[in-house]
Chain A
Amino acid sequence: MDVREKLVQRLSRRIYAGWDSDLAHSFRSSPVTIIAALVALTIILAAIFAPWIAPQNPFDPRQLNLMDGFTPPGQENPFTGNTFLLGSDGQGRDVFSAILYGARVSLFVGFFAVLFSLVLGVTLGLIAGYVGGRADAVIMRIADVQLTFPVILVALLIFGVARGFLPPQHREAMAVYVLIVAIGLSDWVQYARTVRGATMVQKSREYVAAARLIGRSPFAIMSRHVLPNVTEPILVIATISLALAIIAEATLSFLGVGVPPTQPSLGTLIRFGQGFLFSGEWWILLFPSLTLLALALSVNLLGDWLREALNPRLR
């Protein structure tokens, strides 16, 4: 009982401290941020729970009826009597369900691409900043060269090379993972640069010397001492690059090199939809595009807010 009371007490104090912190305060005083957070959260939750929310599984052919094709949003289909909230596409697929499932793929790719580039960039940045010398020169020159190419071009290149190495029967199944690696590899540079700079500042501080003095290994110093002191800029970059990764994925899928059509993301849906734009079935293009726009914009706004809230010079 005593232990539980203590735990509850400690937890409530934690929650109050979180509510009363500078970050929470700046969040509450920015209506744009609150709306952005709500929009992002809604889309993310809807994507995660898509199998329970969506009226149909748009990629299960048994649930599709060709007679349902091209039903405008909110209207009853004259043949089957079905109505679709956001209309249906040529195969009788519910656009709303397709968006939920598509956002799931987009977010999955975006999230893991960010994670991949974060881990890679932070690791290389720590090594470049802490070890310095030749390791620093090699890592940062690679980064410089990569920065001279547009992100999409690098991702396309990596994607193409990786597909060349994969046996044809696995290409489709592996496409999502290849996409994650391609987008991740094209985006590690900004983490590496930021972390390198922050690490060089921390390295010259005396607490690092104190850790070296008792014989801690460079690995222990980097992971336990330096890393906790360079996380704030990483968080900001990660949020903003989540939006960029989602857009990069959509771009690649729109170009037809991303995820396979059996597992369409928002980008794939937009590619399908644009074929019907001039034949009057505007809803097939519009709703996936709006979802992508809302998602990317809200995540980006959150990132901007985080950058300002965590910047000590703007406090």
Chain B
Amino acid sequence: MVGPAPADLVARREAASDSVVEVRGLVRDFDVSASWLHRTLSGEPRRVVKAVGGVSFDIRRGETLALVGESGSGKSTIAKMVVGLLPPTAGSIRIDGTDIWDPANAPKLRDLRRRFQMIFQDPFASLNPRWRVRDIIAEPLDVFGITRGRATRDRVGELLTTVKLTPEDGEKYPHQFSGGQRQRICIARALASEPEFLVCDEPTSALDVSVQAQILNLMRDLQDRLGLTYLFISHNLAVVRHMADRIGVLYLGGLAEVAPAKAMFRDPRHPYTRSLIDAIPDIDMTGRERTPITGEIPNPLDPPPGCTFHPRCPFARERCRREVPRAFAEASGALVACHGVEEGWVGQAPAGQKAV
């Protein structure tokens, strides 16, 4: 067997154990081929979409990691795999050190499920319309055997108060609430099992702008009070800037860049991140020339070779068309997957870029 571990390895392991979530080499393919009969008759091959292609990241205790990307970039697919709703094709997801998709861990999963929860995108679909709100919030309490009878009732009232509704609201049905109130109910349900890690899949994208801020502030407030860790999925950079400690930028199922939020908004590294940040409307930048991203996100059925961003990248060179870039750590702490940044020929904007 292995002898006693060297001191520095132990220290490193302890540092690593402060990650609530460790995702390694996550891959998810979707088979979109026609039916077997149709394929046989027409001689079509199987068609597979690589929705997520080898994504790795850690989420540290108490932080908010945001994943941003266009639609079709694999954000929601990652969220579903992280909470165990969708099995990954390859790779591993560890929550508190336990691989949730390892069949050997199935017995542990019941207890582990208490520790992570999810807030969904559509507050009109995520609450069962036939259930009273108090039953919706009490379901996790019953399933995990946390409370019984009267105690459940009290706890549901408490949770409703936590999300700034009243215990009396528990008697109503979901259709009697507005979108923002429903999202509060979803948050109350998610908090019922006292989780430490919450996956938020575009929690405000279905809400009015005026309500979005209330929900986001509530989530931040809860994070401070309960020490929650968030994986925050969004396509809205303004929302992400408000919420995230670190940001991962997804492009066609791969991470282009992962960097601390402040650093990313101050000094985006990857060409894709640059164009995204450039595209944020900003009063101070009036009159500034922007670099628009040209073209569309490529068809994931037939992704471009090499770097998947090269057809739209203003800096693309020969190497980008041949070789898939690997993520490397910059001095600033950012992880960037770009040949140009690595070799130093991305960074100076092309001539005439900043001039008005």
Q: Which residues of A contact B (CB under 8 A)?
A: 205-207, 209-216, 225, 228-229
Contact = CB atoms under 8 A, between A and B. Distances in A.
A211 B117 CA distance: 11
A193 to B, nearest CB: 19
Given A210-B186, A215-B110, A228-B128, 10 more contacts: A205-B126, A206-B120, A206-B122, A210-B126, A211-B139, A212-B85, A213-B83, A215-B109, A216-B139, A229-B129
B1 interface: no
A228 B130 contact: yes
Contacts of A211: 139
A210 B118 contact: yes
A225 B129 CA distance: 9
Q: Which of A207, A211, A215, A216 has the most CB of B within 10 A?
A: A207
The size bracket of the interface on B is 20 to 34
B117 A213 contact: yes
B113 A214 contact: yes
A144 to B, nearest CB: 15
B85 A213 contact: yes
B121 interface: yes
B140 to A, nearest CB: 5
A258 B188 CA distance: 58
B125 interface: yes
A211 B131 CA distance: 13
A167 to B, nearest CB: 46
8 contacts: A206-B125, A207-B128, A209-B120, A212-B85, A213-B85, A213-B117, A214-B143, A228-B131
B144 A207 contact: no
B121 A215 contact: no
Contacts of A205: 125-126
B125 A216 contact: no
A229 B113 contact: no
A1 B129 CA distance: 35
Contact of B139 (A206, A209, A214, A228): A214
Given A215-B109, A215-B143, A216-B143, A210 B130 contact: no
What DSSP secondary structure best describes chain B's contact surface?
loop
B84 interface: yes
Nearest to B186: A210
Contacts of B83: 213
A98 B329 CA distance: 91
B65 interface: no
Closest 5 A/B residue pairs (Cβ):
A206-B126, A228-B130, A206-B120, A205-B125, A207-B128
Contacts of B189: 210
A210 B126 CA distance: 7
Interface string B126-161: 111111000000011001100000000000000000
A154 B126 CA distance: 42
Nearest to B116: A213
B204 interface: no
A225 B128 contact: yes
Given A215-B110, A229-B129, A229-B130, A209 B85 contact: yes
Given A212-B85, A213-B118, A215-B143, A207 B113 contact: no
A225 B139 CA distance: 11
A205 B120 CA distance: 10
Contacts of A216: 139, 143
B193 A206 contact: no
B121 A213 contact: no
Nearest to A211: B139
Nearest to B129: A229
A225 B143 CA distance: 14
Contacts of B143: 214-216
A207 B127 contact: yes
Interface in B286-301: none
A212 B85 CA distance: 7
Interface string B29-72: 00000000000000000000000000000000000000000000
B203 to A, nearest CB: 11
Contacts of A228: 128, 130-131
Nearest to A204: B125
A229 to B, nearest CB: 6
A211 B144 CA distance: 12
A207 B125 contact: yes
A109 to B, nearest CB: 32
